[in-house]
Amino acid sequence: MHTTVSTSRSSFSLTQTQQYALPVLFALFGLIMGSWAGRIPALAERVQVSHSALSMVLLCGGLGAVISYPISSFLMGRFGARKSALIAGMALLCVLVSIGMAPTVPRLMLAVLMLGITASTFDVAINSAASKREKTTGKAEMSRLHGLACAGGLVGATLGSLMASMKIAPGTHFLMLAGPLALVLWGAFSMMDADDSAEKVEKKSFSLPRGPLALLGLLGFLGSMSEGSIADWSGVFLKEHFGASDGLAPLALSAFSVMMLLSRMVGDKMKVRFGAQRLVTLGSLVSASGLFFAVMAPNAYVALAGFAVAGLGLSLLFPFVFSAAGAQGPMALAAVASMAYSGSLMGPPVIGAVAHFVGMQAAIAYVGGLSLVIAFVASRTKLLK
């Protein structure tokens, strides 16, 4: 009798700790990526890189994400999601330190390419584990997990600006982060459900989603194109169009991210009530109206509200697309993720070109137009349930 009680108690506490493993991993991923994003200006200054060369450096990150498909396929096929997350996560922390230490532009480009590969592989592993758990429990939680990644990103970026104001070099900052985060990663890995079954994998070097999955891939592509463009250009828009100060301009991205975070925390409940397809379709229309509102705004403060509305509208696209792709298996998820990352690769340079030829206002309006296309594609995507 006593043994049965203690066994049930230990299995209960195991279930409890398992519940925290994935949220910790998603928040950790956000924190790492936010820390890197927050130090981009300091890194660019350190290796004396021009704006055009910096866009080439950032392009390496997107390129790494796109070519990561064979690596994530191999790891998932060999070790399963849990061990893949540990391997990719540890590699990601090493790459982060090497970015901070890179002495020249070519070294920085190589390190950022590796960042794209390791970050994308880690992302696919944790999303695969999350969609597997959604399948097992029948409970939607992808939106909340993506919300935690968003929160981690905000913490990482804030920490980055704090370190910058204290004149701490990116290399030192990343070294200070890597040790504690490696321990957190190991702890989360140990807590995870120890189902290390390898996934069945098709042997391909690169895979584009086909059939009904192609629409999910297209949604991911357009969504990351929009998010990447807003992240890179919203502050520039406020600065150029309204003459916003250096302190005010970054608030466009903050307003966008905070609304995205708040919406994701309630997204799973809304999914149960209204369904993913309706939420993504209506959300995209909300996003379009927010971006057009920002373009027509009389001043920078009103434009901030427009970017906040856009964050609210686009917030549920990624969690629901990844959840729907993950339900089709880890390789479907990896293929959709590859397509989504190619959107983040193409978005910011395209917006830069539009801004160069027809101005910043037209560039933000173009992102609003993308939201209308997303709404149309989402309304046709049967896999969004």
CB-based contacts of 13, cutoff 8 Å, min separation 6: none
Mean per-residue pLDDT for 94-112? 93
Alpha-carbon gap, residue 90 to 93, rounded angstroms? 5
pLDDT, residue 163, reads: 86
pLDDT, residue 10, reads: 45
The two three-digit tokens of residue 11, written as one number: 């299995």
- Asked whether the predicted pLDDT for residue 17 surpasses 80, the reply is no
Q: Which of 199, 178, 250 is nearest to 81 (CA)?
A: 199
Please state which of the ranges 70-79, 140-149, 243-252, 254-263 shows the lowest mean pLDDT. Answer: 243-252
- Asked whether the predicted pLDDT for residue 316 surpasses 80, the reply is yes
Q: Which of 336, 316, 331 is nearest to 140 (CA)?
A: 316
pLDDT digits (tens, 9 = 90+) for 271-289: 999 999 999 999 999 999 9
The two three-digit tokens of residue 253, written as one number: 């991205």
User: Which amino acid belongs to residue 297?
Assistant: A
Higher pLDDT, 165 or 133: 133
Alpha-carbon gap, residue 206 to 192, rounded angstroms? 29
The two three-digit tokens of residue 1, written as one number: 């009798």
Three-state SS for 78-139 is HHHHHHHHHHHHHHHHHHHHHHHHCCCHHHHHHHHHHHHHHHHHHHHHHHHHHHHHHHHHCC
Please state which of the ranges 6-20, 203-217, 336-350 shows the lowest mean pLDDT. Answer: 6-20
Residue 196 — pLDDT band, cuts 50, 70, 90?
A: low
Alpha-carbon gap, residue 347 to 330, rounded angstroms? 26
Burial zone of 84 (CB within 10 Å; 0-12 exposed, 13-18 middle, 19+ buried): buried
pLDDT, residue 385, reads: 80
Per the prediction, the chain carries an average pLDDT of 87
pTM for this one?
Answer: 0.83
Alpha-carbon gap, residue 309 to 210, rounded angstroms? 33
Helices marked H in the chain: 2-38, 40-46, 51-66, 69-101, 105-137, 142-165, 170-191, 212-242, 251-274, 276-296, 300-314, 317-326, 330-358, 360-380
CA dist 323 → 106, 249, 252 (Å): 37, 33, 28
Alpha-carbon gap, residue 342 to 62, rounded angstroms? 7
Alpha-carbon gap, residue 114 to 91, rounded angstroms? 9
Query: Could you tell me if 307 and 256 are in contact, meaning their C-beta atoms sit under 8 angstroms apart?
Result: yes
Higher pLDDT, 302 or 4: 302
Q: How many residues are recorded in the chain?
A: 385
- Asked whether the predicted pLDDT for residue 6 surpasses 50, the reply is no
Mean per-residue pLDDT for 307-328? 94
